[in-house]
């Protein structure tokens, strides 16, 4: 079976976790509506770090 693995991300330090927890990313939909996200780095530190890294690189821009 062909399985894709997510890229490895270092576990964030405490300061990064606090920064992630305080941030509120906003998704802007094609119709202009906005969805505000709440990140839960204390529950999923590595996944939140991965999301933030990809968002900063523009990975999610233009996805539908």
50 domain-assigned: yes
22 domain-assigned: yes
pLDDT for 40 equals: 94
Paired residues of 28 in beta bridges: 34
Model confidence, pTM: 0.75
Q: How far apart are the C-alpha atoms of 29 and 26, rounded to whole Å?
A: 10
64 domain-assigned: no
Paired residues of 27 in beta bridges: 35
> What is the arithmetic mean of pLDDT over 31-47?
93
Q: How far apart are the C-alpha atoms of 1 and 11, rounded to whole Å?
A: 29
6 domain-assigned: no
9 domain-assigned: no
5 domain-assigned: no
pLDDT for 2 equals: 67
Q: Calculate the average pLDDT of the chain.
A: 88
> What is the arithmetic mean of pLDDT over 20-42?
93
Q: Which domain holds residue 28?
A: 14-56
> What is the arithmetic mean of pLDDT over 6-10?
74
- Count of alpha carbons within 13 angstroms of residue 55, beta-carbon side: 15
Q: Domain count of the chain?
A: 1
């Amino acid at each position: 079976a062909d399985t894709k693995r997510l890229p490895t991300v270092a576990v964030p330090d405490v300061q990064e976790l606090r920064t992630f927890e305080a941030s509120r990313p906003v998704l802007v939909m094609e119709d202009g509506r906005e969805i505000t996200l709440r990140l839960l780095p204390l529950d999923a530190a590595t996944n939140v770090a991965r999301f933030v890294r990809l968002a900063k690189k523009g990975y999610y821009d233009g996805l539908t």
